[in-house]
Amino acid sequence: MALGGSLLAAPAAHADTATTIVVNTTQDLPAGSCGDTQPSGAVSLRMALCVADNVTGPVTVQVPAGTYPVTSSLSVGAIAGADITIEGTGGQPVLDGGGTVQLLVLDPNLAGNVSVTVDGVAFENGAANDNLLGGGGAIVGGSGGSVPDDSLTVIDSTFRDNSTNTTNTPPDPTITGGAIFFGGGALTVKDSTFTDNTSNGSSGGAISYVAAGWNAQTLTVSGSTFSGNSTGPANSAVSGAIGGGAIQATTNQTETPQVTVSGSTFTGNSSAGSAAGGQGGAIMTDSGILTVTSSTLTDNAVTGSGALGAAISADTGSTLIVHYDRIAGNTGAADVRAVNTASATANWWGCNAGPGAPGCSTVDGLAAASYTPWLQLHVTADPTVVSPPRTTSTITADLLTDSDAGTQLGSDLGAFSGASVAWTHTGDGSLSLASSAFSAGTATTTYTVGGSGAAEVTAQLDGQSVSATVDQTSAPVFTSASSTSVASGGVLSFPVTTTGSPAPALSISGEPSWVSLSGATLTGNVPAGTTGDFTFTLKAANGVSPDATQEFTLTVTAAPVVTTSPTDVNAVAGDQASFSAAATGYPAPTVSGRCRRMAARPTSMCRVRRATRSRSPPTSRSRATDTVRSSPTARARWIRPPPH
């Protein structure tokens, strides 16, 4: 806005009239003389605002929902001391400039001490191209610094597709603020939305604020959302800084701006800037103090070879304070840039490792001490082990513990209320929610266990994933064999395996003195000469009923040894020949024998004691059979019988 001069002639002096004026037509009818403080008939918005300037004390202009085409700029607050509220009723009325008209001019006469509140109104398709007004496609206001400060308060309002420099070639860098330009006084924005506004080659894609007043110069933004706003294509005709895809603040007098942003969201805003590149994809300041708390700055961008501050650029002369913010996914330069003093602790930088780590946001000009500690993502499961009859575990992701293990208050983490954690899991269970939103710094889901085994439940926020393990209890079961064998004098080593959760503990009872349980392995040195079957009990327990027991049999073996070998015998043909054989070993060996002919002779019979076979005639072989076999042999001679 111009810092001097007159935009409209001063209206008549105030008269005492009612404090509420109701608009009853969407048509942009002329204001007329607007000296009547009690309008009747068709009351257009233009007429209502003109009448409001003639009313002593606070005035509310009520504007019903509907679309209000604006054919030429509306004005409000033409008299010093004016206190006017424009209030939408029954939904947001839409003021539409058709892409050619600047919608609303505050304090057109630069009278000073004008207070205007806009509550629940939408501003669309406004355009500013006159450098005498300073910019602001939707609203231009402020005292300009030559008279007492003005104030503008915007509440629950919407600004969409407003712009500056729509007809200027090349773009005029002094026409700033695609939606709002305010210079001189206090600008307050609450719970409002700015979408797709552009300054087309100048600073402040949505809001441009200039400190030019008598008292503290303040821009205060809270609970608002800025998305898709930009400074437009790079203005190659300008070499100086152009920036602030959403907000730009500067000064042109001795007073410096005090910019405070809290609980707001900046996403998808951008600055291509000047020939030197863009600055501050979301916010740029070059003087005063910029404080950004509990806000989200994601996916904003700057472009150009000299681009600075993908999300925030606090240039020379500006002090930066940022706390409890979510800063992630901004591109084109370091996410946050500060030339002078900066305090940037307790922010989320997109991952647990902090600024500059792989996958994390980056900073420019900030010392590590200025941003340490930072917020970190943690995940816990309660319970970590699910025991019947319970089947679920509550999984909680939180940002309540910082990188120095300090505790953060959930009430400070409002920036994450609109952020969601993405949940995934391993195992055969299920999740109640695939994503869940943060509230007071925490987000939860419920994991229902599946058939068996442990699962990893993972939370993903920006570039960071963190997991918690959920196990489920199950009774122990032996999965290894219930018997084994070992040679006498040998070494026993038998692994005992089980299933169950938690992992079962093993115990043994009734075992021989030389057998022990080492961890999950049966061990022992078998005394020489010891043989036989040894039975004892193994038990597995993990606190889940029932315990498992296993009767275990250990067989100590000895290789078979032939102790008696058959000897040759003479037998008469037709008689039986008997042979004896014996062996020792464990298990008890089987002794078997066989007979075979010495030569082609008439058939005769032979018998081997303890043999499994008996044949005739006269040759016998015996053996002891087990794991080792011996085959001692003897021959039976055949003797021809005497003649009859």
Task: Kindly report the CATH number assigned to the domain that includes residue 447.
Answer: 2.60.40.10
Judged against a pLDDT cut of 80, whether residue 577 lies above it is answered with no
Q: Domain check: are 541 and 579 in the same one?
A: no
Q: Domain check: are 181 and 253 in the same one?
A: yes
Q: Domain check: are 440 and 500 in the same one?
A: no
Model pLDDT for residues 283-305, shown as the tens digit of each residue:
999 999 999 999 999 999 999 98
Judged against a pLDDT cut of 50, whether residue 333 lies above it is answered with yes
Phi, psi of 197 (to 5 degrees): -90, 155
Phi, psi of 266 (to 5 degrees): -125, 115
Alpha-carbon distance of 57 to 16, in angstroms, equals: 9
Q: Which residues of 194-230 are buried (b: 16+ CB within 10 A; e: fewer)?
A: bbbbbbbbbbbbbbbbbbbbbeebbbbbbbbbbbbbb
Q: Does residue 395 lie in a domain region?
A: yes
Q: Domain check: are 311 and 232 in the same one?
A: yes
Q: Does residue 8 lie in a domain region?
A: no
Burial tier of 163 (Cβ tally within 10 Å: 0-12, 13-18, 19+): buried
Final residue before a domain boundary, out of 541, 559, 577: 559
> Which amino acid makes up residue 19?
T
Judged against a pLDDT cut of 60, whether residue 110 lies above it is answered with yes
Judged against a pLDDT cut of 60, whether residue 452 lies above it is answered with yes
Q: Domain check: are 300 and 413 in the same one?
A: no
Q: Does residue 7 lie in a domain region?
A: no
Judged against a pLDDT cut of 80, whether residue 600 lies above it is answered with no
Total of domains in the chain = 4
Q: Domain check: are 150 and 191 in the same one?
A: yes
Alpha-carbon distance of 33 to 20, in angstroms, equals: 19
pLDDT at 455: 92
Final residue before a domain boundary, out of 539, 559, 579: 559
Q: Does residue 572 lie in a domain region?
A: yes
**Lowest-pLDDT choice from 40-44, 83-87, 634-638:** 634-638
Q: Does residue 9 lie in a domain region?
A: no
Q: Does residue 35 lie in a domain region?
A: yes
Q: Does residue 152 lie in a domain region?
A: yes
pTM: 0.78
In this structure, how many other beta carbons lie within 10 angstroms of the beta carbon of residue 36?
A: 14
Q: Domain check: are 361 and 392 in the same one?
A: no
Q: Domain check: are 229 and 281 in the same one?
A: yes
> Which amino acid makes up residue 291?
T
Q: Does residue 200 lie in a domain region?
A: yes
Judged against a pLDDT cut of 80, whether residue 639 lies above it is answered with no
Range of the domain at 422: 378-472
Q: Minimal CA–CA distance to 461: which of 265, 333, 296, 321?
A: 296
pLDDT band at 321 (very low <50, low <70, confident <90, very high): very high
Query: Could you tell me what percent of the chain has a pLDDT over 90?
Result: 71
Q: Domain check: are 353 and 498 in the same one?
A: no
pLDDT at 568: 76
Judged against a pLDDT cut of 50, whether residue 608 lies above it is answered with no
Q: Domain check: are 629 and 576 in the same one?
A: yes
Judged against a pLDDT cut of 60, whether residue 631 lies above it is answered with no
pLDDT at 578: 76
Judged against a pLDDT cut of 70, whether residue 527 lies above it is answered with yes
Q: Domain check: are 365 and 387 in the same one?
A: no
pLDDT band at 4 (very low <50, low <70, confident <90, very high): very low
Q: Domain check: are 338 and 204 in the same one?
A: yes
Final residue before a domain boundary, out of 338, 371, 404: 371
Judged against a pLDDT cut of 90, whether residue 563 lies above it is answered with no
